[in-house]
């Protein structure tokens, strides 16, 4: 127990400094993604229970909670990846750019072209590094200089220096951390507005994970980043806002990250953060 | 192996029980050895008679000769394999035009689009196509397909022709392409599809742009197997294609460029390697004659080609299994 | 690539036109081969049964007396108003659609040769609906009982015919002696050993049996007086089969039922045998058919009555027989013009002929049955032996491990060698070098066995591999030797899968033609073979020969009938294999 508390204090100081610098540099955020009275069911089972949330533009928002609490489900509601699960049923609104993405006239494919996604396990295509990054550009009919955009994206993903001499070799030849940064480059190449990340570091070693964390911080300059993580230290380190989901798919508390980790309103959230359960 | 009266008897058994164990193991090993012996026997049988044949007919004459007439009735014997090769290649390529696109599309449909219900019905039904006896396919080609083609598309088609035979060979090999390709496509991890959808790709783009390239080695291996099967196919061509070893007429187009009109080859009868073998077997089987030995030379060529193709297909298929 | 027209409210829309076109295209490709095959099968059935000359009245008569009662039976069994409504809608709607479409095509394009809308309705609507209803109905108890009974009647009769056929080439007198002096004493000893737990007696069974067999071969030359064939079959096959039937029921239903189940079919079969001789039929064959169809049927009927559920289903064979009889009566009484099918009883019981009307397939069918029986034994033994060796006896690493891999690669390559090359092997090795003769049953059977051996091995390996390792470990831990584990645990579990694979491989063997030509099998044989070394024909060989006859009646009639016969036998074999597999899967 004593170990845990000392860890928490260490993190607190870190967060405070980071957020202070962040808030001075950035303009007040508009809402990028919002959910209103969102309920999601898998067959008879409820995965998301009446969630209402507003996620700010160009900030890192972390979704945390014990496994099975519905945080990944919520993430997949935003770009309608849940459509592909047959038993999944969604009620309520998810707004992106002021438009409900579940309206009948919304094409989920067009929606996903504006929202990038990075998955838990690195999943590069069995193609060359260049083709991996260019894939989104290709399917969206990008008419600019593809090579230039590939280079920019790889640089933005902090991978360019490592792979610039082997752009034509297979993406599968890279290490796990490099593969995940390649997936990030792939996601941001078509210049989406939002990047969704579903536990992007959970399959990586700590060194590779820390590189990704640094990268996420930079990404927030340009993109709205929504990240699901089961690692509370990670949420504390990299996010501006944190949403805590608890069992049954309920959003229990949502606030600035320092507030959540220092002084949560809810006893259950404090119990979860200090490791009393979950 | 200590011998003590106190301790339980753990000594290795000798005698009857071990003999029994050994006998059964030996019997099973003998069964397995038969499979190896079969390969050896095929090789030796083909080679021994082929060697005799090549002592009579030089290999160069066999490989470059443009006339095949093994029976010395009127005119001389000639053992040139070129017209047979042309016949075989024509059938194989035409059949590939039917089976490869159809089989690939079928595999994509089964792997990406079909509901699990549709898949469970379609897959066994497709296997039926490979299970129909080939002589029946040949009969269909001769009696139904050729007249149908004559009545609709090609009034000038011959009773025996390469086209209808090739179409039937193609239909027969569809399941070979579709089942192996579908296995390869199903082996593509779902994460890759998810990544594609996450980037805003449509189902069409995911299927053709991600799944197909990712399973390309499996698809290639299925193509080679189907082509190798078409090369060795016998009864369909024997029944429906006739047995005339011909060199295609070379015409002259503008500026004196030589070309072969596909219609000359497809709409008329021809002869494949397998047909030539069957034709000789229908006559003389007592052995010791050149035509008899020439069957084995042809068989050896067929055996070598299909063996090489299967080995290549295996190597390619091995690669896709390792990838994920 | 895809167009992205941003509209004010949404996120634009990505064009799906190409995707939808592609989906339909790929679906079309998936069914292309099947549709093509279906059309060809429709035509070959029309030719084989001369349906092009079937008058609408004839079709309507049998539709009403045979098809409608069958559909009603299935619907009664399914007992589901939704299914009934859908079936009626399909039948009615299909009638209108097919008729309209046909009239339109004939008016606009061209008449379709040898096909009219009544036949099209029969094949495209009525047959699929009947198949669907049979499937749905068989989930109900009544139709399940009906089909079970029908299957035993037809399957038993087919096995009876096949067994009768085999005795055309095997010496029934040796069998009689071997059975009497070898099989009976050995079985009795084994049974006594099990009953009294006397191990010695059970162990002695095999040597006693072997001595009996040797005695039989010896006595065959010495003894000169034998009972008649009918008595031999009665003693060696009919009575044992009836005894097994009785044994199966006696435990559950009591002695009286047991006596009835065994006695009734036996009496009927014996009487049938005696009567058959008078009617000019082969008495032993009639006896075998009646007893092999009768005993399983009797066992099944007794069980259904005992359970007391779905007894009505037992009426299905009567319903169908009555339908055929009623149809025939109406056709006869009203003088309805009837087609003259090529495929009739005469076709399967008579020898080939130069005139199409008299041509028959009998010798070729006999040849195929004998060859398949030999191939079944050879490839089963070799296939199981090899797969057990590869799966249970060899290590995965080391020198033996690489040997195993070599064997495995070799088997895969053997499976891909063209069948015509196997024909050359048979010609060079079995016919010429070993002197088994050109086109004899032995040469053909050996060649085909080697041809299907790789398929048999691969499927047997899969079946053995699917036996859970826990079972093996459990047996090993009891101190079982490898052979004991294999015999008592692995093989019993894997057997249904091995049978299924072997039957499917035999389906390949029965249709093979090229290797038969290469080893010199006769295209046409005019009488049934009388020994394993006489010249043989087989169904596909006969089809091949007839397809080249110049007369249209051969090409379109006689061969079509042969194709249908071959396909029916093939479907029967594969259907049995699938039933076996499904039953095994349900059992697990």
**HEC per residue, C269-305:** HHHHHHHHHHHCCCHHHHHHHHHHHHHHHHHHHHHHH
Q: Is B198 within 8 Å of A111 when comparing Cβ atoms?
A: no
Eight-class DSSP state of C168: T
Q: Which two tokens stand for residue C189?
A: 């000893």
C4-18, C84-98, C574-588 — which one is most confidently predicted on average?
C84-98
Nearest residue to C426 (alpha-carbon basis) of B29, B296, B132, B54: B296
pLDDT attached to residue B299: 92
CATH number at residue A243: 3.40.50.300
Sequence-ordered list of residues with C-beta below 8 angstroms from that of C301, at least 6 positions apart, any chain: C149, C314
CA atoms within 13 Å, Cβ hemisphere of A228: 23
Domain membership of residue A235 (yes or no) is yes
pLDDT attached to residue C587: 60
Helix intervals (H) in B57-161: 59-64, 82-108, 116-131, 134-140, 146-152
**With bands split at pLDDT 50, 70 and 90, how would you rate the model's confidence at B74?**
low
Q: Is B303 within 8 Å of C421 when comparing Cβ atoms?
A: yes
DSSP, collapsed to helix, strand or coil, labels residue B185 as helix
The phi, psi pair for C522, rounded to 5°, reads -75, 140
* Predicted confidence (pLDDT) at residue C6 exceeds the cutoff of 70: no
Sequence-ordered list of residues with C-beta below 8 angstroms from that of A189, at least 6 positions apart, any chain: A133, A134, A136, A137, A149, A150, A153
* Predicted confidence (pLDDT) at residue A23 exceeds the cutoff of 70: no
pLDDT attached to residue A25: 47
Q: Give CA–CA dist B71/B77, Å, rounded.
A: 6
* Predicted confidence (pLDDT) at residue C278 exceeds the cutoff of 90: no
Mean of all residue pLDDT scores within chain C: 84
| β A60-64/A224-228 pair status | parallel
Which of A12-16, A174-178, C181-185, C332-336 is predicted least confidently?
A: A12-16
pLDDT attached to residue A20: 42
Q: Determine the average pLDDT of the residues in C485-489.
A: 81
A110 part of contact set with chain C, CB < 8 Å: yes
Q: Give CA–CA dist B244/B291, Å, rounded.
A: 16
CB count in 10 Å sphere of residue C480: 16
List pLDDT tens digits, range C312-368. 888 888 889 998 898 888 888 887 777 888 877 777 777 777 777 777 788 888 888
Q: Is B200 within 8 Å of A81 when comparing Cβ atoms?
A: no
Eight-class DSSP state of B255: G
| β A45-56/A31-42 pair status | antiparallel
A113 part of contact set with chain C, CB < 8 Å: yes
Q: Give CA–CA dist A269/A255, Å, rounded.
A: 12
List pLDDT tens digits, range C531-580. 778 778 888 988 888 888 877 778 888 888 889 999 999 988 888 888 88
* Predicted confidence (pLDDT) at residue C7 exceeds the cutoff of 50: no
* Predicted confidence (pLDDT) at residue A11 exceeds the cutoff of 60: no
* Predicted confidence (pLDDT) at residue C112 exceeds the cutoff of 60: yes
Q: Is C4 within 8 Å of A105 when comparing Cβ atoms?
A: no
Tell me how long chain C is. 588
* Predicted confidence (pLDDT) at residue A15 exceeds the cutoff of 50: no
Report the alpha-carbon angle B78-B83-B87, nearest 5.
140
CB count in 10 Å sphere of residue C217: 13
Sequence-ordered list of residues with C-beta below 8 angstroms from that of A145, at least 6 positions apart, any chain: none
Are the CB atoms for A125 and B195 separated by under 8 Å?
Answer: yes
Q: Determine the average pLDDT of the residues in B196-203.
A: 88
Give counts: helices (H), strands (E), chain C. Answer: 27, 0
**Residue A224: enclosing H or E segment and its boundaries?**
strand A224-228
The phi, psi pair for C177, rounded to 5°, reads -70, -45
pLDDT attached to residue A110: 84
pLDDT attached to residue C555: 80
* Predicted confidence (pLDDT) at residue B25 exceeds the cutoff of 60: yes
C579 part of contact set with chain B, CB < 8 Å: no
DSSP, collapsed to helix, strand or coil, labels residue A100 as strand
Q: Which two tokens stand for residue A187?
A: 């996601």
Nearest to B199 among A110, A127, A187 (CB): A187
Domain membership of residue A34 (yes or no) is yes
Are the CB atoms for C577 and C155 separated by under 8 Å?
Answer: no
Nearest to A119 among B191, B201, B323 (CB): B191
Q: Give CA–CA dist A129/A173, Å, rounded.
A: 9
* Predicted confidence (pLDDT) at residue B257 exceeds the cutoff of 80: no
Chain C residues 426-455 with a CB less than 8 Å from chain B: 427-429, 431-432, 438, 450, 453-454
Q: Give CA–CA dist C450/B40, Å, rounded.
A: 13
Please give, rounded to a whole number of angstroms, the shortest distance from the CA of A114 to a CA of chain B.
8
pLDDT attached to residue B102: 95
* Predicted confidence (pLDDT) at residue C3 exceeds the cutoff of 50: no
* Predicted confidence (pLDDT) at residue B2 exceeds the cutoff of 80: no
**With bands split at pLDDT 50, 70 and 90, how would you rate the model's confidence at C56?**
confident
Q: Give CA–CA dist C213/C203, Å, rounded.
A: 17
pLDDT attached to residue B6: 58
C86 part of contact set with chain B, CB < 8 Å: no
Tell me how long chain A is. 278
List pLDDT tens digits, range C388-407. 998 888 777 777 788 888 88
A103 part of contact set with chain C, CB < 8 Å: yes
* Predicted confidence (pLDDT) at residue B240 exceeds the cutoff of 70: yes
CB count in 10 Å sphere of residue B173: 30
Which chains border A (3 or more CB–CB pairs < 8 Å)? B, C
Q: Give CA–CA dist C152/C572, Å, rounded.
A: 13
pLDDT attached to residue A38: 92
Q: Is C4 within 8 Å of A103 when comparing Cβ atoms?
A: no
**With bands split at pLDDT 50, 70 and 90, how would you rate the model's confidence at B16?**
low
Domains and CATH numbers, chain C: 1-48 (no CATH), 144-339 (no CATH), 356-587 (1.10.3720.10)
Residue with tokens 């980037």: B199
Asked whether this complex has an ipTM greater than 0.90, the answer is: no
Higher-confidence position of A160 and C525: A160
% of chain B exceeding 90 in pLDDT? 29
Please give, rounded to a whole number of angstroms, the shortest distance from the CA of C21 to a CA of chain B.
10
Q: Is C386 within 8 Å of B133 when comparing Cβ atoms?
A: no
**Residue C584: enclosing H or E segment and its boundaries?**
helix C559-587
Domain membership of residue A278 (yes or no) is no
Eight-class DSSP state of C53: G
Domain membership of residue A56 (yes or no) is yes
> In which domain, by residue range, is A217 found?
2-99+109-114+192-273
Q: How far apart are the first and last CA of chain C?
A: 51
Nearest residue to C538 (alpha-carbon basis) of C357, C352, C382: C352
* Predicted confidence (pLDDT) at residue C459 exceeds the cutoff of 60: yes
Q: Is A126 within 8 Å of B214 when comparing Cβ atoms?
A: yes
* Predicted confidence (pLDDT) at residue A7 exceeds the cutoff of 70: no
**Residue A50: enclosing H or E segment and its boundaries?**
strand A45-56
Sign of the alpha-carbon torsion through B207, B208, B210, B216? positive
pLDDT attached to residue A18: 41
Domain membership of residue A69 (yes or no) is yes
Q: Give CA–CA dist C391/B323, Å, rounded.
A: 26
List pLDDT tens digits, range C59-73. 888 888 888 889 888
List pLDDT tens digits, range A227-266. 999 888 899 999 999 999 988 888 999 999 999 988 888 8
* Predicted confidence (pLDDT) at residue B83 exceeds the cutoff of 90: no
Q: How far apart are the first and last CA of chain A?
A: 15
**Complete edge-to-edge strand list for the sheet that includes strand A99-100:** A45-56, A31-42, A88-96, A99-100
* Predicted confidence (pLDDT) at residue A210 exceeds the cutoff of 60: yes
Domain membership of residue A171 (yes or no) is no
Interface test with A, best of B200, B210, B213, B216 (most A CBs within 10 A): B200
Report the alpha-carbon angle C284-C289-C295, nearest 5.
120
pLDDT attached to residue C75: 87
Q: Give CA–CA dist A33/A195, Å, rounded.
A: 11
Helix intervals (H) in chain A: 2-25, 71-78, 108-112, 129-139, 146-156, 160-163, 176-188, 206-219, 232-238, 257-262, 267-273
C52 part of contact set with chain B, CB < 8 Å: no
Beta bridge partners, A64, equal: A244
Question: How many domains, chain A?
Answer: 1
List pLDDT tens digits, range B105-157. 999 999 999 988 888 888 888 888 888 999 999 999 998 898 888 888 888 88
Q: Determine the average pLDDT of the residues in B7-19.
A: 63
Nearest to B200 among A84, A123, A140 (CB): A140
* Predicted confidence (pLDDT) at residue A2 exceeds the cutoff of 70: no
Question: Using a CB cutoff of 8 Å and minimum separation of 24, what contacts does C76-79 make?
Answer: C76/C137, C76/C142, C76/C312, C77/C137, C77/C138, C77/C140, C77/C141, C77/C142, C77/C143, C77/C144, C77/C146, C77/C313, C78/C133, C78/C136, C78/C137, C78/C139, C78/C140, C78/C143, C79/C140
A164 part of contact set with chain C, CB < 8 Å: no
B167-171, B215-219, C290-294, C494-498 — which one is most confidently predicted on average?
B167-171
Q: Is C1 within 8 Å of A110 when comparing Cβ atoms?
A: no
Q: Give CA–CA dist C62/C126, Å, rounded.
A: 13
Q: The pTM is what?
A: 0.83
Q: Is C2 within 8 Å of A140 when comparing Cβ atoms?
A: yes
Q: Determine the average pLDDT of the residues in C82-106.
A: 88
pLDDT attached to residue C8: 41
Nearest to B197 among A112, A124, A190 (CB): A112
Q: Give CA–CA dist B234/B168, Å, rounded.
A: 12
Domain membership of residue A151 (yes or no) is no
* Predicted confidence (pLDDT) at residue C383 exceeds the cutoff of 90: yes
**With bands split at pLDDT 50, 70 and 90, how would you rate the model's confidence at A5?**
very low
Closest residue of A to B194, CA-based?
Answer: A81
């Amino acid at each position: 127990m004593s170990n845990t508390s000392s860890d928490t204090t260490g993190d607190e100081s870190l967060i405070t400094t980071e957020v202070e610098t962040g808030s001075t540099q950035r303009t007040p955020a508009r809402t990028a993604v919002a959910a209103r009275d969102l309920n999601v069911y898998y067959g008879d089972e409820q995965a998301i229970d009446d969630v209402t949330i507003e996620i700010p533009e160009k900030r890192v928002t972390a979704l945390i909670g014990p496994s099975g609490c519905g945080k990944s489900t919520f993430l997949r509601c935003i770009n309608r990846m849940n459509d592909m699960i047959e038993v999944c049923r969604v009620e309520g609104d998810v707004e992106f750019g002021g438009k409900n993405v579940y309206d009948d006239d919304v094409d989920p494919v067009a929606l996903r072209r504006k929202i990038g996604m990075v998955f838990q396990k690195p999943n590069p295509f069995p193609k060359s590094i260049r083709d991996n990054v260019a894939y989104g550009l290709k399917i969206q009919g990008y008419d600019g200089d593809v090579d230039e955009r590939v280079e920019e994206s790889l640089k933005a993903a902090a991978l360019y220096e490592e792979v610039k001499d082997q752009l034509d070799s297979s993406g599968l030849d890279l290490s796990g951390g490099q593969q995940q940064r390649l997936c990030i480059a792939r996601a941001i190449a078509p210049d989406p507005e939002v990047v969704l990340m579903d536990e992007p570091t959970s399959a990586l070693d700590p060194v590779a994970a820390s590189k990704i964390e640094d990268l996420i911080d930079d990404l927030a300059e340009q993109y709205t980043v929504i990240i699901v993580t089961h690692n509370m230290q990670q949420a504390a380190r990299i996010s501006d806002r944190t949403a805590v989901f608890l069992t049954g798919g309920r959003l229990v508390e949502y606030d600035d990250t320092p507030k959540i980790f220092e002084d949560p309103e809810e006893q259950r959230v404090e119990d979860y953060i200090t490791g009393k359960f979950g | 192996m200590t011998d003590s009266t106190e301790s339980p008897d753990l000594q290795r058994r000798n005698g009857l029980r071990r003999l029994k164990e050994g006998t059964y193991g030996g019997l099973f090993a003998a069964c397995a050895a038969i499979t190896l012996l079969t390969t050896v026997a095929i090789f030796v049988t083909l080679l021994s008679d082929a060697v005799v044949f090549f002592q009579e007919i030089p290999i160069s004459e066999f490989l470059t000769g443009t006339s095949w007439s093994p029976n010395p009735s009127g005119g001389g014997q000639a053992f040139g394999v070129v017209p047979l090769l042309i016949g075989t290649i024509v059938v194989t390529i035409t059949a590939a035009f039917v089976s490869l696109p159809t089989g690939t599309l079928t595999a994509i449909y089964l792997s990406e689009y079909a509901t699990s219900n549709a898949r469970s019905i379609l897959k066994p039904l497709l296997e039926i196509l490979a299970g129909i006896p080939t002589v029946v396919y040949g009969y269909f080609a001769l009696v139904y397909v050729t007249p149908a083609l004559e009545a609709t598309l090609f009034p000038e088609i011959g009773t025996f022709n390469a086209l209808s035979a090739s179409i039937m060979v193609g239909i027969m090999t569809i399941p070979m392409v579709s089942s192996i390709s579908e296995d390869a496509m199903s082996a593509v991890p779902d994460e890759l599809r998810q990544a594609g959808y996450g980037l805003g790709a449509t189902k069409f783009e995911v299927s053709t742009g991600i799944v197909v390239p990712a399973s390309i080695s499996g698809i290639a291996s299925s193509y080679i197997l189907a082509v190798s099967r078409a090369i060795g196919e016998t009864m369909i061509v024997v029944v429906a294609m006739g047995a005339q070893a011909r060199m295609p007429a070379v015409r002259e187009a503008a500026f004196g460029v030589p070309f072969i009109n596909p219609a000359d080859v497809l709409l008329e009868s021809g002869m494949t390697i397998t047909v030539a073998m069957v034709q000789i077997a229908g006559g003389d089987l007592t052995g010791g004659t050149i035509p008899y030995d020439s069957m084995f030379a042809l068989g050896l060529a067929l055996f070598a080609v299909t063996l090489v193709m299967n080995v290549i297909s295996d190597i390619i298929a091995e690669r896709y299994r390792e990838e994920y | 690539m895809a167009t992205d027209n941003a509209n004010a409210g949404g996120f634009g829309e990505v064009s799906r036109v190409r995707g939808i076109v592609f989906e339909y295209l790929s679906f079309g490709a998936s069914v292309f081969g099947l549709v093509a095959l279906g059309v060809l099968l429709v035509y070959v059935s029309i030719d084989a049964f001369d349906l092009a000359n079937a008058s609408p009245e004839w079709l309507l008569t049998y539709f009403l007396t045979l098809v409608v009662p069958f559909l009603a039976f299935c619907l009664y069994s399914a007992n589901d108003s939704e299914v009934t409504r859908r079936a009626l809608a399909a039948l009615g709607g299909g009638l209108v659609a097919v008729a309209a479409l046909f009239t339109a095509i004939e008016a606009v394009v061209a008449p379709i040769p040898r096909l009219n809308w009544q036949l099209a309705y029969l094949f495209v609507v009525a047959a699929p609906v009947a198949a669907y209803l049979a499937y749905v109905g068989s989930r109900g108890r009544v139709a399940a009982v009906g089909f079970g009974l029908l299957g035993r009647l037809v399957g038993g009769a087919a096995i009876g015919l096949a067994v009768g056929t085999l005795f055309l080439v095997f010496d029934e007198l040796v069998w009689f002696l071997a059975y009497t002096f070898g099989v009976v004493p050995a079985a009795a000893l084994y049974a006594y050993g099990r009953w009294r737990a006397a191990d010695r007696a059970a162990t002695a069974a095999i040597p006693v049996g072997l001595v009996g067999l040797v005695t039989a071969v010896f006595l065959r030359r010495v003894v000169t007086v034998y009972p008649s064939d009918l008595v031999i079959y009665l003693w060696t096959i009919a009575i044992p089969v009836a005894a097994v039937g009785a044994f199966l029921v006696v435990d559950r239903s009591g002695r009286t039922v047991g006596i009835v189940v065994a006695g009734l079919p036996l009496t009927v079969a014996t009487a049938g045998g005696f009567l058959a001789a008078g009617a000019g039929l082969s008495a032993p064959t009639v006896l075998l058919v009646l007893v092999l169809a009768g005993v399983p049927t009797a066992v099944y009927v007794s069980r259904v009555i005992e359970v007391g559920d779905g007894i009505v289903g037992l009426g299905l064979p009567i319903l169908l027989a009555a339908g055929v009889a009623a149809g025939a009566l109406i056709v006869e009484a009203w003088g309805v013009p009837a087609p003259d099918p090529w495929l009739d009883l005469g076709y399967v019981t008579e020898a080939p002929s130069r005139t199409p009307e008299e041509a028959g397939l009998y010798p070729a069918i006999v040849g195929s049955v004998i060859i398949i029986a030999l191939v079944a034994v050879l490839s089963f033994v070799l296939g199981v032996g090899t797969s057990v060796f590869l799966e249970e006896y060899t290590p995965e690493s080391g020198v033996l491990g690489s040997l195993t891999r070599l064997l495995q690669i070799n088997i895969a390559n053997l499976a891909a060698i063209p069948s015509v090359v196997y024909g050359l092997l048979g010609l060079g090795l079995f016919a010429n070098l070993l002197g088994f003769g050109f086109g004899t049953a032995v040469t053909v059977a050996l060649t085909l066995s080697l041809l299907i051996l790789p398929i048999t091995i691969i499927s047997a390996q899969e079946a053995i591999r699917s036996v859970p390792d826990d079972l093996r470990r459990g047996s090993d831990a009891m101190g079982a030797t490898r052979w004991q584990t294999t015999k008592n645990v692995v093989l019993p579990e894997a057997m249904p899968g091995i049978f299924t694979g072997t039957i499917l491989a035999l389906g390949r063997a029965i249709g093979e033609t090229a290797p038969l030509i290469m080893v010199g099998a006769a295209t046409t044989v005019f009488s049934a073979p009388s020994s394993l070394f006489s010249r043989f024909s087989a169904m596909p060989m006969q089809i091949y020969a007839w397809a080249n006859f110049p007369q249209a009646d051969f090409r379109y009639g006689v061969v079509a009938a042969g194709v249908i016969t071959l396909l029916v036998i093939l479907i029967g074999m594969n259907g049995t294999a699938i039933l076996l597999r499904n039953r095994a899967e349900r059992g697990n």
